Amino acid sequence: MIRYALQCDQDHAFEGWFSNSEAYDDQAARGLVECPFCASREVRKQIMAPAVAGTKKTRPADAPPALQTMMMEAMAKVREHVEENFDYVGDAFAREARDIHEGRSEQREIYGEATPEEVRKLKEDGVPVAALPPKPIDPRKAN
């Protein structure tokens, strides 16, 4: 696995984990890498210092799982909670979120799909929105 420091065109900094550099290049070319803050797909890699592994064993065998594993598990739990407890509104998300925010629709938690432009407009208008963590990767389909 490789970790990249990423930044979107709105200057939001975040990290992304990829199986290798080709996986990042492929996903970025297909528009699958997006900012978790604003959903922009205009993302670029930042300059990073390489992490060099030493020869000494630095942690005991019974240490907690790697940070990446913990983060993936936490994101899967967040997504599962949303899918079980929020109303799915599909591609009507932007309209419904705005209607709830402005009191034209009942107050409830929702999730669905929205374009980066719709997300940007919602945020500009003060409508609270956040990107849903991606679905967990099926290990059988991973690179």
* Banded model confidence at residue 104, pLDDT cuts 50, 70, 90: very high
What per-residue confidence (pLDDT) applies to 73? 84
Q: How far apart are CA 75 and CA 70, in angstroms?
A: 9
* Two tokens, residue 3: 């970790």
pLDDT digits (tens, 9 = 90+) for 32-61: 999 888 889 999 988 765 655 555 555 555
Instruction: Say which residues have a Cβ less than 8 Å from residue 75's Cβ, sequence separation at least 6.
Output: 133, 134, 136
What per-residue confidence (pLDDT) applies to 134? 80
Phi, psi of 54 (to 5 degrees): -85, 180
What per-residue confidence (pLDDT) applies to 101? 95
Site of tokens 């290049």:
25
- Whether the CB-CB separation of 23 and 4 falls below 8 Å is answered with no
